[in-house]
């Protein structure tokens, strides 16, 4: 019996994103159902928006319950254990989130490519898959989305998505392109974490 490595990575990404939702639920001091709902939002939200925009008959998690099971399990465990996440483990979570971003972005790009959509749309669908779940999480929790404020985050998704398209165009096989593209997103995001890279925000003229 062999295990599909893509599936393993997808479940890891789901788990990590669900944990980010559970941590937002902890900040709001929600009950266990609040943890599950706010945990599911980032874990399946980005892919759900992508599926709606691309007119999928059923959104992806209706046909594969693994995403729901993994995200709910993580949210329930987090409800009882999230206070144990001290500083060091929190840093680990940031890195795991970068891995989830890399994976979901490239998977979303790939789905759009399979439908022969325009490269610009493929990159947008990659970015939406990777980042809109977190945006939904923040909207539900009544916060200004992290995506909009964060150091380099959307850019890392876009970089990986463009790398995937370029490598496929250059004739690389799909698996090789996925690995390199995921690495691109992960490394760009990782460098941004390590060096606190950020893009310059808009500053009103008067302020200095």
Record the tokens describing residue 192, joined without a space.
């941004």
- Phi/psi for 170 (5° steps) reads -80, 0
Dist. CA 183–CA 185, nearest whole Å: 6
Taking the least distance from each CB to its own copies, the nearer of 48 and 110 is 48
What are the counts of helices (DSSP H) followed by strands (DSSP E) for the chain?
9, 0
Taking the least distance from each CB to its own copies, the nearer of 28 and 175 is 28
Contact in structure between 175 and 165 (CB atoms under 8 Å):
no
Contact in structure between 61 and 148 (CB atoms under 8 Å):
no
Q: How far is the CB of 119 from its own copies (least distance, A)?
A: 10
Q: What share of the chain is helix, strand, coil (3-state, %, to 5)?
A: 75, 0, 25
Taking the least distance from each CB to its own copies, the nearer of 27 and 91 is 27
Contacts with its own copies by CB under 8 A lie at 25-26, 28-35, 37-38, 48, 52-59, 62, 65, 68, 79, 82-83, 117-118, 120-121, 124, 135, 139-145, 147-149, 154-155, 198-205
Q: How far is the CB of 128 from its own copies (least distance, A)?
A: 10
Q: How far is the CB of 31 from its own copies (least distance, A)?
A: 4
Q: How far is the CB of 179 from its own copies (least distance, A)?
A: 25
Taking the least distance from each CB to its own copies, the nearer of 26 and 179 is 26
């Amino acid at each position: 019996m062999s295990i599909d490595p893509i599936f393993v990575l997808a479940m890891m990404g789901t788990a990590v994103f669900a944990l980010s939702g559970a941590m937002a639920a902890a900040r709001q001091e929600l009950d266990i159902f609040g943890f599950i709902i706010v945990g599911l939002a980032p874990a399946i939200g980005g892919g759900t928006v992508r599926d709606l925009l691309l007119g999928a008959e059923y959104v992806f998690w209706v046909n594969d319950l693994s995403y729901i099971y993994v995200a709910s399990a993580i949210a329930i465990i987090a409800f009882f254990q999230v206070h144990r996440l001290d500083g060091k483990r929190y840093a680990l979570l940031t890195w795991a989130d970068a891995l989830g971003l890399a994976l979901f972005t490239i998977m979303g790009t790939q789905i759009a490519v399979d439908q022969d959509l325009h490269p610009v749309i493929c990159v947008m669908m990659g970015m939406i898959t990777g980042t809109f779940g977190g945006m939904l999480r923040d909207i539900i929790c009544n916060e200004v989305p992290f995506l909009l404020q964060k150091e380099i985050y959307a850019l890392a998704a876009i970089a990986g998505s463009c790398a995937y398209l370029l490598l496929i165009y250059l004739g690389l096989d799909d698996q090789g392109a996925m690995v390199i593209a995921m690495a691109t997103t992960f490394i760009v995001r990782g460098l941004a974490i390590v060096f606190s890279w950020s893009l310059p925000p808009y500053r009103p003229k008067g302020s200095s």
